[in-house]
Structure 1
């Protein structure tokens, strides 16, 4: 069992503060977090598949930051481990095989995080896992746009 599972899924004080600060906009923030997280995970998994540490850094950094803004401790820690190890691999010019376990944990941790944020998704809303599975094409179409937490519509 990974040490990440000893970490709490959320820091409840940070989550409460995020809900308080964003008020009625919290649902919109969670929606953006879902969209951006799906893109980040697809990009990280693809980078792992092609063994590109460089391609992992930005999506892992983005996922880490967004997770931590919501108090998602476990997801933030996994994303940070991926980011920091990928940066180390770039410096050493080595493939990112040392983070295969963390990359494989992302989907389930992200899905669990989303479930905690919104335990009753709207009718017809796709669950996190099918969205992850179908997002590769969408990711390619929107790759030119930066993923920004709390972006304006």
Structure 2
């Protein structure tokens, strides 16, 4: 499946991982944020240097860590980079064909992390509440006693 067709986040897999990690979830998500940013920087640097071999390891790492959190589009992009880079190493070609995927990788990571952070934040209310009443209660009108 092309990475454009993959879900940005598979929420059932995200919830499963959250349940499995328990109290360590936020810490591990923080590691993913740090490691993901490092992997993306390494991918960008290797691509600029036209070094296909140097693309393989950070792409492989990003692929696995992304999939663990249900970030399937990011995982699919990293997998494409890894597979093309491996082929380029074998055929001794440059990784030029990856330019669109490499350029789209960081924005996808940023968007994905924003979604994961929003859902993982313990301070975010899971049910909408408005000031002074529950969200499912119809408004009475401002300043009117009922």
TM exceeding 0.5: yes
Structure 1 residues without counterparts, runs of 5 or longer:
123-153
Question: Cα RMSD between the aligned structures?
Answer: 1.6
**Inter-CA distance 73–25: structure 2 relative to 1 (3 Å threshold):** same
Question: How far is 1:119 from its partner?
Answer: 2.0
Deviation at 1:57? 0.1
49-58 vs 3-12, greater mean Cα deviation: 3-12
Q: How far off its partner does 1:6 sit?
A: 2.8
What CA deviation, in whole Å up to 9, does each residue of 1:109-152 have, x standing for no partner? 10011101112899xxxxxxxxxxxxxxxxxxxxxxxxxxxxxx
Cα–Cα, structure 1 residues 121 and 8, in superposed 2: closer, same or farther, change >3 Å? closer
> Offset at 1:105?
0.8
Query: Using the alignment, how far apart are the partners of 1:119 and 1:36 within structure 2?
Result: 19
Please list, as runs of the form range in 1=range in 2, the aligned pairs for 1:119-130 lying within 5 A after superposition. 119=118
Query: Is contact 2:46-2:55 (8 Å) kept?
Result: yes
Could you say which residue in structure 2 is the equivalent of 1:29? 28
In 1, are the aligned partners of 2:26 and 2:120 still within 8 Å (CA)?
Answer: no
Task: Give the number of the structure whose alpha-carbon radius of gyration is greater.
Answer: 2
* Equivalence for 1:70: 69
Name the residue aligned to 2:15.
16
d(CA) in 1 for partners of 2:26, 2:12: 18
Question: How far is 1:12 from its partner?
Answer: 1.5
Does 1:105 find its partner at 2:94? no
Shift of 1:83: 0.2
2:25 is the alignment partner of 1:57: no
- Whether the 8 Å CA contact 2:55–2:85 is kept in 1: the answer is yes
1:30-77 deviation line (CA, Å, top 9, x unaligned): 100011001100000000000000000000000000000111100000
Aligned residues: 120
Distance 1:23 1:107 in 2: 28
Distance 2:4 2:42 in 1: 23
